[in-house]
């Protein structure tokens, strides 16, 4: 396993392909520092005796101890630990811990490549290729992002119907030594600070869309890959230091006639498995949200409770009611994820076939509960902000700038008039409100909300998954029996 310093050293040696605001930047550019700091925690935790058991695992390939963010789930306990590790890590920053995309994409590709290699028309040994890549991924303790979301072009048209075929990443040429791909993946979290990029399809595919049924891996600085980076950093402070410096990045990842050697290709043309790769990454990632979102709600609950205490209203009935709603949302999301882990099997739901075995035996979370947990917590993010706004009042929106708070001519006056609770030192109150503003009113706050709402699939996608996979007929049978109706006809 690597240390934080070794991870940063690896990034320092990478080629420059990051575009930002009209120029190009290095991977250790100061703009990346907040995100690098957060990612560094995932390395620290694997070495810390207090968290090592939670944040490491035993590789099923080599038998060696590896970072759990690089692990393939071998049983329900592995999924429980991934969920708890995610909550533990997010509690350290109050925001996304940034490394879940790699573990979720890895587990999806692990199953899909195994099934796709069985095809007599398989163009390469997909799963053998994958296992070689995975062994290095684990041994070198690499960070992987997942590029799934295509630009999609005209949203009501399928990939093959687009006027411009590049609206979905696709194969433009097959060669004896590999393939050439073109297209763009968007909103790709932490691609600019990852070692590798895992690419999976965006949606279910059908006949005629074989060129889009594609999974592969490339180094994030690979020739033919261009990243246009967007940063979500907090405003720098001069006096009131934060407990942790947080940052977040995402990229438009453009594959500009990018050559991929066959040994890095894990799927190429098998539309059935392309759709399954899209579904499985989303499923694993929604399960990760059952650790992430409850942890973010831990943070929101703490802010709401502290805002109420500073404002002197913590004992009022309406505050208790609002905090209880936050608690219920967070813990129901966690419970749904925990149940998804407990009911996990090496199985998936396939339309027309129901639940069937899939993959080499690695465990896949229960789809209904993973989607329920993600949908419950995803739909709530804007309501959470409404609750914080209600408890806090208007102060965060008009709070003085940091340098006004330290200006000797007005410092004492501002501290006098900002003080709302004589039992709490005014400097502590100031630090709290500045943190509150970072989370809810800063330049990066709306992007965080959009990410929390849409990441892993918008709520409508979870609703589709739930209703399409749920056994609705058995619930009708309950009503038929109680109502004295005739049983439904059983199809032969």
Query: Each residue's pLDDT tens digit in the chain (492 positions)?
Result: 999 999 999 999 999 999 999 999 999 999 999 999 999 999 999 999 999 999 999 999 999 999 999 999 999 999 999 999 999 999 999 999 999 999 999 999 999 999 999 999 999 999 999 999 999 999 999 999 999 999 999 999 999 999 999 999 999 999 999 999 999 999 999 999 999 999 999 999 999 999 999 999 999 999 999 999 999 999 899 999 999 999 999 999 999 999 999 999 999 999 999 999 999 999 999 999 999 999 999 999 999 999 999 999 999 999 999 999 999 999 999 999 999 999 999 999 887 788 999 999 999 999 999 999 999 998 999 999 999 999 999 999 999 999 999 999 999 999 999 999 999 999 999 999 999 999 999 888 888 888 888 887 888 888 888 888 888 999 999 999 999 999 998 765
Q: Are 34 and 246 in contact (CB under 8 A)?
A: yes
Query: Does any domain span residue 191?
Result: yes
Matching residue, tokens 């936050």 = 326
Query: Does any domain span residue 484?
Result: no
Q: Are 183 and 166 in contact (CB under 8 A)?
A: yes
- Largest interatomic CA distance in the chain: 86
291 and 196 within one domain: no
310 and 251 within one domain: no
Q: In which order are the strands placed within the sheet that holds 225-233?
A: 23-25, 18-20, 225-233, 247-261, 178-189, 170-174
Q: Are 265 and 401 in contact (CB under 8 A)?
A: no
Strands 65-67 and 23-25, how do they pair? Answer: unpaired
309 and 200 within one domain: no
Query: Does any domain span residue 489?
Result: no
C-alpha span between 391 and 420 (Å, rounded): 14
Cβ neighbours of residue 82 under 8 Å, at least 6 residues apart?
Answer: 68, 71, 73, 103, 287, 288, 291
356 and 310 within one domain: yes
- Of 225, 241, 270, the last residue of a domain is 270
296 and 214 within one domain: no
312 and 259 within one domain: no
246 and 373 within one domain: no
285 and 266 within one domain: no
Number of structural domains, the chain? 2
Query: Does any domain span residue 481?
Result: no
Q: Token pair for residue 20? A: 């930002």
85 and 35 within one domain: yes
Query: Does any domain span residue 187?
Result: yes
399 and 327 within one domain: yes
Query: Does any domain span residue 196?
Result: yes
Range of the domain at 144: 4-270
63 three-class SS: coil
Structure-derived torsion over alpha carbons of residues 189, 271, 60, 143, reported in degrees to the nearest 10: -20
461 and 409 within one domain: yes
C-alpha span between 407 and 404 (Å, rounded): 5
409 and 264 within one domain: no
- Of 207, 236, 270, the last residue of a domain is 270
Query: Does any domain span residue 480?
Result: no
């Amino acid at each position: 396993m690597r240390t934080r310093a070794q991870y940063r050293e690896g990034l320092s040696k990478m080629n420059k392909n990051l575009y930002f605001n009209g120029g190009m930047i290095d991977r250790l550019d100061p703009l990346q520092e907040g995100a690098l700091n957060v990612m560094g925690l995932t390395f620290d935790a694997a070495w810390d005796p207090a968290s090592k058991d939670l944040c490491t695992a035993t590789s099923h390939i080599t038998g060696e101890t590896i970072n759990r963010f690089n692990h393939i789930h071998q049983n329900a306990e592995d999924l429980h630990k991934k969920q708890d590790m995610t909550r533990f890590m997010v509690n350290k920053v109050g925001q996304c811990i940034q490394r879940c995309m790699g573990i979720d994409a890895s587990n999806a590709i692990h199953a899909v490549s195994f099934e796709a290699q069985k095809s007599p028309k398989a163009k390469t040994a997909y799963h053998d290729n994958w296992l070689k890549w995975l062994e290095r991924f684990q041994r070198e303790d690499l960070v992987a992002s997942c590029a799934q979301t295509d630009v999609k072009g005209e949203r009501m048209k399928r990939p093959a119907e687009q006027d411009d075929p590049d609206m979905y990443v696709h194969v433009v040429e097959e060669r004896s030594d590999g393939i050439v791909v073109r297209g763009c993946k968007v909103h790709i979290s932490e691609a600019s600070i990852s070692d590798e990029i895992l690419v999976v399809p965006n949606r279910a595919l059908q006949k005629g869309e074989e060129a889009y049924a594609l999974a592969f891996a490339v180094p994030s600085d690979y020739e033919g890959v261009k990243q246009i980076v967007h940063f979500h950093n907090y405003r720098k402070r001069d006096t009131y230091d934060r407990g942790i410096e947080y940052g977040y990045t995402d990229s438009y990842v453009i594959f500009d006639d990018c050559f991929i050697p066959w040994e890095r290709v894990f799927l190429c043309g098998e539309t059935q498995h392309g759709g399954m790769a899209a579904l499985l990454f989303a499923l694993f990632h929604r399960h990760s949200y059952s650790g992430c979102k409850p942890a973010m709600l831990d943070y929101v609950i703490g802010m709401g409770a502290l805002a109420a205490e500073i404002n002197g209203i913590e004992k009022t009935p309406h505050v208790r009611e609002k905090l209880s709603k936050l608690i219920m949302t967070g813990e129901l999301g966690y419970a749904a994820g925990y149940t998804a882990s407990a009911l996990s099997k090496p199985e998936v739901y396939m339309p027309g076939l129901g639940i069937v075995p899939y993959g080499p035996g690695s465990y896949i979370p229960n789809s209904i509960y993973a989607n329920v947990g993600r949908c419950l917590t995803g739909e709530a993010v804007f309501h959470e902000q409404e609750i914080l706004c209600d408890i806090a009042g208007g102060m965060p929106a008009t709070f003085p700038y940091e340098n006004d708070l330290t200006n000797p001519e007005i410092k004492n006056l501002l501290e006098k008039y900002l003080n709302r609770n004589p039992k709490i030192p005014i400097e502590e109150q100031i630090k709290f409100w500045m943190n509150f503003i970072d989370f809810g009113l800063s330049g990066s706050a709306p992007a965080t909300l959009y990410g929390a709402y849409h990441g892993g699939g918008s709520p409508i996608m979870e609703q589709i998954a739930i209703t399409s996979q749920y056994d609705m007929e058995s619930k009708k049978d309950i009503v038929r029996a109680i109502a004295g109706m005739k049983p439904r006809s059983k199809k032969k």
